[in-house]
Amino acid sequence: MVPPYAILLVDDQPIETQTVRKLIEKHRLPLRVSTAANGEEALAQLRAEGCDILFTDIKMPRMNGLDLARHARLLNPSAQLVIYSAFGEFEYAKEAIDLGAIHYLLKPLDIEEFLAVMDKAIGLAKRARETRPHHPAVENEGEGREPGTAISG
């Protein structure tokens, strides 16, 4: 069975995303994991697939995690944002909170804190799905038609 919630892990250090993926698997969290090595790559994945939880580092090449979070908010305002970083500077934490982050984790991850944050993020993702308007006509919009053609009738 495919896990019901999608998490996108973003970090330019592969060992970091591997570690988080292993924690998710070990603790059998109901998460389908995707990874990206930088903000630009993550943004492309968000546009193509979306996610329920965005778990991102801050300092990365091409696009940092805070800029990624800004763009992600426009694409999917209901996605849960978790920032994790080796940098505990107040300005980063303040900006993360301003962007709607539900938590700011410091590296190296504390496993108990990580699990508590994931539990919270999954709960919020579930609530966001339950309260999101469900419009099957919109979800199926465009199926069976050429792009750019109007629906008449």
Q: How confident is the model at residue 134 (pLDDT cuts 50, 70, 90)?
A: low
The two three-digit tokens of residue 20, written as one number: 């988080």
Give backbone dihedrals phi and psi of 110, rounded to 5 degrees, phi first: -85, 120
Fold of 5-129: Rossmann fold (3.40.50)
The two three-digit tokens of residue 117, written as one number: 């944050």
Q: Among 4-8, 34-38, 93-97, 139-143, whose mean pLDDT is lowest?
A: 139-143
* pTM reported for the whole predicted model: 0.84
What is the 3 state secondary structure string of 65-81?
A: HHHHHHHHHHHCCCCEE
Contact 10, 42 (CB under 8 A): yes
Q: Please state the domain extents for the chain.
A: 5-129
Tell me the per-residue pLDDT of 17-70, one tens digit each, with 9 for 90 and over: 999 999 999 999 999 999 999 999 999 999 999 999 999 999 999 999 999 999
Q: Examine the pLDDT at 127 and tell me if it is beyond 90.
A: yes
